[in-house]
Structure 1
Amino acid sequence: AIVTVVDNELPTLSLQNITRKLTSIDGLTVPATEFISTVNDNCSYTITPANFTFDCTDVGSQQVSITAKDGAGNEVTKNAQITIENPDALVEPSEGNTVVSSPGNYTVVDSNLLIHLSDNVDGATVSINENFHTGDELRLATGFTLPSGVTSNYSASTGVLTLSGTMTSQELQSIFQNIQFRTSSSNVLEREVVFNIGGGVSNSDNDHYYEYVSGAFTWEQARADAATKTLNGLQGYLATVTSASENEFITTKLSDDGWLGGSDSYTQINSALGSSLYANQTEAEAKNSRQLSTMQKF
């Protein structure tokens, strides 16, 4: 006699909700096993997918689906929630302000600054944002040696010190701790010095990051290139200026003219200019229809 054994029994699968914090600028990988409370079957089984990946765009509650399937093709799928928390600040300045008693002499900005990052870093910037004046200067302390393959360059016109090359997070922390400031300006307003991981400069007014990319681009090429870039899990795009203060920041911090994302919305144009140039949408479209394809920062 022939005995046919049929497996019609579904695997049993129980999931749990979990919370995880982002710890890397490259995102977070969570194995499916971390969601599983119990899984059983009368034969062997497989779990799919094996892993889930998350980045800064996933902060908050996210649903995942996990499937257990046995050798007979019986399968069961269950859902669970994962709460993704923001990472700790990658750059932690020390408390308080640095007092510059002799503005003409170099003073270390923050010798106790810390970096909470385990990855290698490809480039960084230090920028004087708020109240930057001609004559302000950033540099590395005399005698400090940069890691092999890393270079620094300070732009006196933008107040941005750019670090190029790949370095460990500990090497970058040491560099940041040895940044010095001085000024020949008579202006005594408090300066804001911002330390950035990555090639962009950050605007504390809107928490956006900006990067000037040199090269010969058409507007379409620039838009496509911007879309390929990411920073700490954030998706890149051509800058869209929505206020007069943002326009001023871009103008003072970027080293040359560049393409921008464009809009013919008369309210956004008026807001960016800080004026009432256009009374309505029809007027804006009539005057800007030939200019949008060549829009640059102004």
Structure 2
Amino acid sequence: MNWYTVYVTFLILFLPSVIVSQTDDPPVITVTGDNYFCPNGSNSIAVVDTVSITDTDDTELEEVSIQIATGYQNGQDILVLSGVHPNISSTWDVTEGRLKLTGPATLSEFEAAILAVNFSSTSPIVTGIREFSVVIGSPLFLPETGHYYQFVPSLGIRWDDARDEAVLRTFFGLQGYLATLTSAIEATFAGDQITGTGWIGASDDPTAEGVWTWVTGPEAGLVFWNGDETGTVVPGEFEFWNNNEPNDYPDDAIDGQENYAHITDDTVGIQNSWNDLPIGGGGGRYAAQGYIVEYGGMPGDPALQISGVTRVRVSCNVITNRQRTYRVGF
């Protein structure tokens, strides 16, 4: 038997097992919870009824996030970890409406901590639904799209550099890309609950001046807006331009001055809306603060179960008899 035959035999017999042993399988999480709740400013309710976390090749996790993904009332709604969890710390982010649970800790320790997370609210608006996304890892999850989102701070980054960096990011095998915000709920989520304004994946540079296109992600090549600030949205598509945008500032009679979309700073015009900027961004309130990466929907993405969604239906009814007044959740 010559050396080549020996080498090939080794590859056939042993290499597959080496490759399999190096595979890191993603964890799986399952949660349940759909309850009614009448908050009074001092009571609370668990956001998860049951939880199961499994992982075929790991016994610990680093981080789990629980976020009020839908219906969040900033400054009034809150999530709190109750009880004692020696290996897990919690951090509440009021802007994101998210409670981070940080380890490392065992899967069972994280399960116990998730069950101990409670929701309360002092909001005077005591109706509506709160959806809670429970995610293994740090990106945020939006139930309505099934996608994950992450703000990457990078002061002064160019749009093209942000685009190139985004595609180098992955999340449990999901391919990253500059976010494509194709609905009102997605635009509100990205603007309200992802900390920091930043670049998104729209431009009128690859087509023609004033033909605004999503150039990243699953929507790459999709035109959604034609014209300048007096233009029109493509039927069936979505836009959220700020007042008098996109205006190709300082002179929209000169093509090519502002060709890249950016979420507007909160102090400028309409909250969470978009404006067009040069590829390097602007100055002051128009300086690029970073970019938003979206994960999900790309060809070849793996099927994952790294998140789950529960709901609390916030509702109160006042019933009065001659002796007492009752607040009843229903």
TM-score range, shorter chain: 0.5 to 0.7
**How far apart, in 2, do the equivalents of 1:194 and 1:239 lie?**
19
Higher relative contact order (CA 8 A, sep 6+): 2
Q: CA deviation at 1:226?
A: 2.5
**How far apart, in 1, do the equivalents of 2:63 and 2:38 lie?**
31
Shift in alpha-carbon separation, 1:101–1:165, aligned structure 2, 3 A: same
Shift in alpha-carbon separation, 1:292–1:160, aligned structure 2, 3 A: farther
Name 2:143's counterpart in structure 1: 204
**How far apart, in 2, do the equivalents of 1:238 and 1:46 lie?**
43
Name 2:239's counterpart in structure 1: 273
1:80-91 matches, cutoff 5 A: 90-91=28-29
Name 1:36's counterpart in structure 2: none
Paired residues, number? 220
- Equivalent position to 2:80, from 139, 146, 166: 139
Name 2:61's counterpart in structure 1: 121
Name 1:232's counterpart in structure 2: 172
Shift in alpha-carbon separation, 1:55–1:235, aligned structure 2, 3 A: farther
- Equivalent position to 1:98, from 27, 35, 45: 35
Task: Report if aligned partners of 1:241, 1:247 keep a CA contact under 8 Å in 2.
Answer: yes
**How far apart, in 2, do the equivalents of 1:190 and 1:137 lie?**
14
Shift in alpha-carbon separation, 1:274–1:288, aligned structure 2, 3 A: farther
Which secondary structure state, in structure 2, belongs to the residue aligned with residue 45 of structure 1? helix
**How far apart, in 1, do the equivalents of 2:9 and 2:155 lie?**
55
Shift in alpha-carbon separation, 1:294–1:188, aligned structure 2, 3 A: closer
Q: What are structure 1's unaligned runs of at least 5 residues?
A: 1-5, 12-40, 57-85, 279-284
Name 1:50's counterpart in structure 2: 15
Q: CA deviation at 1:102?
A: 3.9
1:103-114 matches, cutoff 5 A: 103-104=40-41, 105-114=43-52
Determine if the alignment matches structure 1 residue 292 to structure 2 residue 259. Answer: yes
Q: CA deviation at 1:144?
A: 2.5
Task: Report if aligned partners of 1:144, 1:178 keep a CA contact under 8 Å in 2.
Answer: no
Q: Deviations over 1:94-145 (max 9, x none)?
A: 2x5123244421222124222123533333311112222231111101x323
**How far apart, in 1, do the equivalents of 2:66 and 2:102 lie?**
12
**How far apart, in 1, do the equivalents of 2:136 and 2:156 lie?**
26
- Equivalent position to 2:162, from 215, 222, 245: 222
Shift in alpha-carbon separation, 1:181–1:238, aligned structure 2, 3 A: same
One-letter code aligned to 2:85: T
**How far apart, in 2, do the equivalents of 1:188 and 1:236 lie?**
36
Q: CA deviation at 1:232?
A: 1.8
**How far apart, in 1, do the equivalents of 2:155 and 2:103 lie?**
23
Determine if the alignment matches structure 1 residue 245 to structure 2 residue 185. Answer: yes
Percent identity at matched positions?
A: 24
> Taking structure 2 as the reference length, what is the TM-score of the superposition?
0.55
- Equivalent position to 1:153, from 69, 83, 91: 91
Task: Report if aligned partners of 1:226, 1:238 keep a CA contact under 8 Å in 2.
Answer: yes
**How far apart, in 2, do the equivalents of 1:166 and 1:291 lie?**
45
Which secondary structure state, in structure 2, belongs to the residue aligned with residue 261 of structure 1? strand
Range moving further from structure 2, 200-209 or 252-261: 252-261
Name 2:312's counterpart in structure 1: none
**How far apart, in 1, do the equivalents of 2:80 and 2:255 lie?**
43
Name 1:213's counterpart in structure 2: 152
**How far apart, in 1, do the equivalents of 2:239 and 2:188 lie?**
10
Which secondary structure state, in structure 2, belongs to the residue aligned with residue 251 of structure 1? helix
Write out the 4+ residue segments of structure 1 that deviate beyond 6 Å after TM superposition. 53-56, 285-288
Q: Deviations over 1:215-258 (max 9, x none)?
A: 43513443343233221211222212223332112112211112
Name 1:174's counterpart in structure 2: 112
Task: Report if aligned partners of 1:131, 1:190 keep a CA contact under 8 Å in 2.
Answer: yes
One-letter code aligned to 1:190: I
Shift in alpha-carbon separation, 1:288–1:234, aligned structure 2, 3 A: farther
Higher strand share: 2
Which secondary structure state, in structure 2, belongs to the residue aligned with residue 237 of structure 1? strand
Shift in alpha-carbon separation, 1:165–1:188, aligned structure 2, 3 A: same
One-letter code aligned to 1:98: N
Determine if the alignment matches structure 1 residue 260 to structure 2 residue 200. Answer: yes
**How far apart, in 1, do the equivalents of 2:101 and 2:186 lie?**
24
Higher Rg of the two aligned structures: 1
